[in-house]
Amino acid sequence: MSTPQDLTERFANRVRGRGSAGDGTGGEPGTGGGVSTSGSRASWRRRLGWVVPVVVLLVLAWLPYVNVSVPGLFSGVSNSPGTMQLLALSLTFGGIALSYDVLFGRTGLLSFGHALFVAAGSYTTALALGQLRVGLPVAVLLAVAVGVVLPLVVGAVALRVSGIAFAMVTLAFAQAGSILVLRNPGGATGGEEGLPLLRERVPDLLTGVVNAPYRYWLALAYLALCWVVVAWLVRSRAGHAWAAVRENAERLAVLGVSTYRAKLLAFVVGSLLGTLGGVVHLLVVGGATPFVTTTEFTLALLVMVVLGGAGSRWGAVIGGVLYTYLDNRLLQLASSDVVAGLPPVLRVPASEPLFVLGTLFVLVVFFAPGGLAGRVARRGRGRRTAPAVEGEDET
- pLDDT at position 357 is 84
CA distance 269 to 234: 12
Q: What are phi and psi of 274, to 5 degrees?
A: -65, -35
CA distance 155 to 147: 12
**Residue type for position 391:** G
Q: Do 244 and 7 contact (CB within 8 A), yes or no?
A: yes
Q: What are the domain boundaries of the chain?
A: 74-294
- pLDDT at position 127 is 96
Q: Closest by alpha carbon to 312, among 57, 126, 105?
A: 105
- pLDDT at position 102 is 96
CA distance 383 to 393: 18
CA distance 352 to 87: 21
Q: What is the number of other CB atoms lying within 10 angstroms of the CB of residue 265?
A: 17
Element of type H or E holding 319? helix 313-334
Q: Strand, helix or coil at 69?
A: strand
Low-confidence residues of the chain: pLDDT under 70: 1-48, 375-395
> Is the dihedral angle over the CA atoms 330, 298, 110, 355 positive or is it negative?
negative
Pairing of strands 195-196, 287-288: antiparallel
CA distance 160 to 335: 49
Q: Which residues contact 200 (CB under 8 A, 6 or more apart)?
A: none
Q: What is the number of other CB atoms lying within 10 angstroms of the CB of residue 153?
A: 10
The pLDDT tens digits of the residues spanning 178-215 come to 999 999 998 899 999 999 999 999 999 999 999 999 99
Strand pairing partners for 287?
196
pTM for this model (two decimals)? 0.85
CA distance 289 to 282: 8
Q: What is the number of other CB atoms lying within 10 angstroms of the CB of residue 240?
A: 19
> Helix crossing, 136-158 with 114-130: angle to 10°?
150
Element of type H or E holding 288? strand 287-288
Q: Closest by alpha carbon to 269, among 302, 243, 242?
A: 242
- pLDDT at position 366 is 86
Question: Average per-residue pLDDT in the chain?
Answer: 84
**Residue type for position 294:** T
- pLDDT at position 3 is 55
CA distances in angstroms from 190 to 140, 164, 256, 295, listed in the order given? 20, 33, 49, 19
The torsion defined by the Cα of 31, 34, 38 and 39, in degrees rounded to 10, comes to 20
